[in-house]
């Protein structure tokens, strides 16, 4: 009896979830990123990057932010998604934060270059224009760039944290060499 009630409750939950849907955006409309800025182009491994964006969707269907990172010497990382709160469906201004320290890399070679691409996707899967930021790891300390308008107008909210963990290709090679050795060598 308990088992059948549990399954009925699960079925009811799934049925209700299936009925809840997001509004679909009309064909031909999509979000637009109107302003974008990153706080630095070069920095040490572990630097905290802040990517500021302002975007509009007059129909109010902005749903999530896509961040993609490509790393010279390693390749392409899977897309990181940040889901937007309902108050940001029509207009948003805020920043994404990414701590470049990674649990997969104890260090990053100097001059490692990243390309960071950010776009917004609406409830229908329409993608906004893409903004692209280069970043390079260096050993020197560089000051952050001053915020340009419209991001210099006071408290800009944090929209979310980027959850991409970088790999150091040189450490990957060391790990592969260790794993390929015979245990008695």
pLDDT in tens, 39-76: 999 999 999 999 999 999 989 999 999 999 999 989 99
Inside any domain, residue 178: no
CB contact at 8 A, 54 and 150: yes
Inside any domain, residue 179: no
Give me the pLDDT at residue 143, please. Answer: 85
Inside any domain, residue 100: yes
Work out how many domains the chain is built from and give that number.
1
Give me the pLDDT at residue 51, please. Answer: 98
Q: Which of 22-26, 35-39, 58-62 has the lowest mean pLDDT?
A: 22-26
User: What range does the domain containing 78 cover?
Assistant: 28-173
Inside any domain, residue 182: no
pTM passes above 0.85: no
Q: What is the CATH number of the domain that holds 78?
A: 2.60.40.10
């Amino acid at each position: 009896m308990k088992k059948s009630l549990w399954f009925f409750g699960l079925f009811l939950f799934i049925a209700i979830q299936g009925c809840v849907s997001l509004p679909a955006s009309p064909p031909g409309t999509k979000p637009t990123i109107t302003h974008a800025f990153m706080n630095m182009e070069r920095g040490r491994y572990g630097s905290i990057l802040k990517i500021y964006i302002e975007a509009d969707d007059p129909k109010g269907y902005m749903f999530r932010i896509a961040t993609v990172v490509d790393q010279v010497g390693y390749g392409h990382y899977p897309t990181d998604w940040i889901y937007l709160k309902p108050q940001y469906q029509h207009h948003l201004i805020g920043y994404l934060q990414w701590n470049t320290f990674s649990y997969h890399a104890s260090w990053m070679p100097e001059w490692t270059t990243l390309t960071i691409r950010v776009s917004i996707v609406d409830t229908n899967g329409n993608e906004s224009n893409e903004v692209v930021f280069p970043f390079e790891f260096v050993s020197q300390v560089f000051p952050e760039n001053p915020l340009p308008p419209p991001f210099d107008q006071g408290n800009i909210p944090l929209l979310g944290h980027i959850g991409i963990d970088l790999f150091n290709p040189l450490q990957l090679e060391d790990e592969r060499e260790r794993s390929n050795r015979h245990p008695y060598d």
